[in-house]
Amino acid sequence: MPICYDADYIASIHFIRTLNIHLDNYIIFKQNSGCKYNKEYTVLKNFICFLKNNHIKSYPEINEEFVLSWINRSKKIKGITKNHYLRRVKYFFKYLRRIKEVSYNPTEKIEPFKTTPFIPYIYTIEELKKIFSEIRSRMNYPGNYYRGLTYYTMFFLVYALGLRIGEALRIKIKDINFKEKTIFISKSKFYKERLIPFSKCVHNKLKLFRNERLKRFPKINSAPLFINDWGTICNKSNVERRWSVIVRDCGIKTRNGKTPRIHDLRHSAAT
């Protein structure tokens, strides 16, 4: 026998399909404006999936209460993340109003969630010496010289130049001008580009690593500076985990007993 679906189910499927089309158009609109919007797309996809699971079949059903139920669906979600979710839905509905798809915005009366101010961890000079000494010692492990040198140079660059880890991972060989002692940073936060000068100390460490890197992987100048043992770009999550392991092994913890982040190097460089 053929499967028969009720009218509400069919209406919900049609509504979700239409909403997905609007979402795709919204993301294209934002990306054409110079925004990446990859994370925002993931959040809104999750929101639409929540609508689908609750069999929502029309816009009026998406009210303030429903949006809050989605935002508060887990007790583990922090206030800052809830505000991020709230903004994503708010801007999406602003777009829907602009194209006259809806006449209201369910987030208009929702107050921002309370957040706890984040205080970054500032590494002391002694802690940094201990961390980099630990990394150098691991370079002596059999077969671990190149990997250790990669992490040592990468982390040193993040600290010495106050870089974000993503910026360091995107550096290409051609971005480094050893004669002028500058590094070109592209695709940084807010899509800005900048030229950063570096010291003689950074120059020497970079040159040592670059020579070792080209000896193992003699690729063209457009290739990433930091690549792993297999010749591919280092994964950000793996790099952050490696930093956490090293810092934890050095016995360094925050006041809350947590392991300081690699991004705290950037804050430490600024103090």
Mean of the pLDDT values across residues 50-58? 95
Which tokens in the block code for residue 27? 């993301």
What does pTM read for this prediction? 0.68
Distance from C-alpha of 184 to C-alpha of 198, rounded to nearest angstrom? 11
Residue 9: what pLDDT?
Answer: 84
Q: Looking at this protein, which amino acid is placed at residue 205?
A: K
Q: pLDDT for 204-262, tens place per residue?
A: 999 999 999 988 888 766 688 998 888 888 899 999 999 999 999 999 999 888 999 99
Query: Residue 77 — very low, low, confident or very high, per pLDDT cuts 50/70/90?
Result: confident
Query: Residue 36 — very low, low, confident or very high, per pLDDT cuts 50/70/90?
Result: confident
Q: pLDDT for 186-203, tens place per residue?
A: 866 655 788 999 999 999
Query: Residue 87 — very low, low, confident or very high, per pLDDT cuts 50/70/90?
Result: very high
Q: pLDDT for 134-174, tens place per residue?
A: 999 988 887 789 999 999 999 999 999 999 999 999 999 99
Distance from C-alpha of 175 to C-alpha of 191, rounded to nearest angstrom? 17
Which tokens in the block code for residue 256? 């809350």
